[in-house]
Amino acid sequence: MNSSSPARTTWRRFTSHRLALPGLLVFSVVTLACVMAPWLLQLDPNAIDLGAALQAPSTAHWLGTDQTGHDMLARTLVAGRISLLVGVCSVLLAIVVGALLGGLAGYFGGWIDNLIMRCVDVVMTFPTIIVLMTLAAVIGSGTGKTIVIIGLLSWPLVGRLVRARILTLREMEFVAAARLFGAGHWYLMRRHLLPNTGDVVLVFSSLGFVTAIMAEAGLSFLGLGVQMPDASWGSLISIARESAVLQQYPWIWLPSGCLIVLTALSVSFMGEGLRLAFDPKSDRK
C-alpha cells in the first residue's frame, strides 16, 4: 500500500516552495487579527474622542489616533475585514462568471466559443483602472458595488483558463464513456468537466485576490471605493493625500499600507505554492 496519499503529496509539493508556508501563516494571522482582534481588545473602531485626536502611538492607543480620535488599531483591523471581504467576494464572483462562460466556450465550441472569447478580448483590452474609475463614478461607490465592479472585470482570465482545460478534458476517454451511457451536456459539465478545473481555478484565486485587494485600495484612495462610515485599508491610506498627514502623522496610514503589502505578498507566495502543488512535473525538479 502506498503511504503517500494524494493529500500528502499535494501538501509536500505546496511546502516545497520555501515561502508558501510562511505566506499561509502570515495570511492566517492577518485574517484572524482582522476578524477577532476588535472583539478581543474591546475597542470601538467608530468611537470619536476629539480630546484624543492625533495622538501618537502609546499604551492607551497602540497605533495612535486620527483627526477625530478614532483608535487606529481598531480602525485598521476593522478596515481589514472590508478589504478582505472585497477580495474574497470579488474573486468568487469572477470565478462563477468566468468558469460558467469559459466552460460553455470550451465545451460547445463553434459560434458560442467565438462569441464568448470576443467578449473576453474586449474586456481585457480596456485599461482596468480607467474602467474601474468610470464604472464607480457611474453606478456609485460602496462595498457591494466595489465587489461587483472588480468581480465583473476579473472574470476573463479565469474564463480563458477554464476554457483551455475544458478543451483538453472533453476529448478524454472518461467523457466519451459518459456520453455512451447517455450523459447529457449539463450533466457532463456539472459532474465531470467543471470539477476537474478546480486546480486552475484555485491557482487563479490567489492572483485574483491580490488584484482585487490592490484595485479596491486604488479606488478607495481616489474616493470611489468604500465610503464612510465603513473603512478599508485603501480608504485609510487615502487620508495621506493631505501632506500634513503624510509627513507628520504616519501612524494613521502606514499600518494599512504595510498590511496591504504583507497580505499581497503572502497570498502571492501561497499562489506559487498552489501552482507547484497541482503540477506533477514539480516532483521531477
- Report the DSSP beta bridge partners of residue 65: 71
Please give the Cα distance from 271 to 156 (Å, whole number): 19
Region of residue 5 (phi > 0: left; psi between -120 and 50: alpha; otherwise: beta): beta
> What letter does residue 56 receive in the DSSP assignment?
P
Please give the Cα distance from 180 to 203 (Å, whole number): 33
Residue whose grid cell is 468604500? 226
Please give the Cα distance from 114 to 100 (Å, whole number): 15
Please give the Cα distance from 21 to 47 (Å, whole number): 37
Span between the terminal Cα atoms of the chain, in Å: 25
Question: How many other C-beta atoms lie within 10 A of the C-beta of residue 167?
Answer: 15
- Phi/psi at 15 (5° precision): -75, -10
Please give the Cα distance from 157 to 98 (Å, whole number): 7
Q: Which residues contact 83 (CB under 8 A, 6 or more apart)?
A: 213, 216, 217, 232, 233, 234, 260, 263
- Report the DSSP beta bridge partners of residue 71: 65
Please give the Cα distance from 214 to 209 (Å, whole number): 9
Render pLDDT for 268-285 as a digit per residue (tens, 0 to 9): 999 888 888 887 665 655
Q: Are 53 and 68 in contact (CB under 8 A)?
A: yes
Helix (H, G, I), strand (E, B) or coil at 284: helix
Digitized pLDDT (tens) for each residue of the chain, 285 residues in all = 445 677 888 888 888 888 999 999 999 999 999 988 767 777 777 777 777 788 888 888 888 888 888 888 888 998 999 999 999 999 999 999 999 999 999 988 889 999 999 999 888 887 777 887 888 778 777 788 888 888 888 899 999 999 999 998 888 888 888 888 888 888 888 888 888 888 889 888 988 998 898 888 888 877 777 777 778 898 888 887 777 787 888 888 899 999 999 999 999 999 888 888 887 665 655
Query: What is the pTM for the complete model shown?
Result: 0.86
Specify the amino acid at residue 215.
A
Render pLDDT for 69-127 as a digit per residue (tens, 0 to 9): 888 888 899 899 999 999 999 999 999 999 999 999 998 888 999 999 999 988 888 77
- Phi/psi at 71 (5° precision): -70, 120
Residue whose grid cell is 474591546? 42
> What letter does residue 189 receive in the DSSP assignment?
I
Q: Are 72 and 257 in contact (CB under 8 A)?
A: no
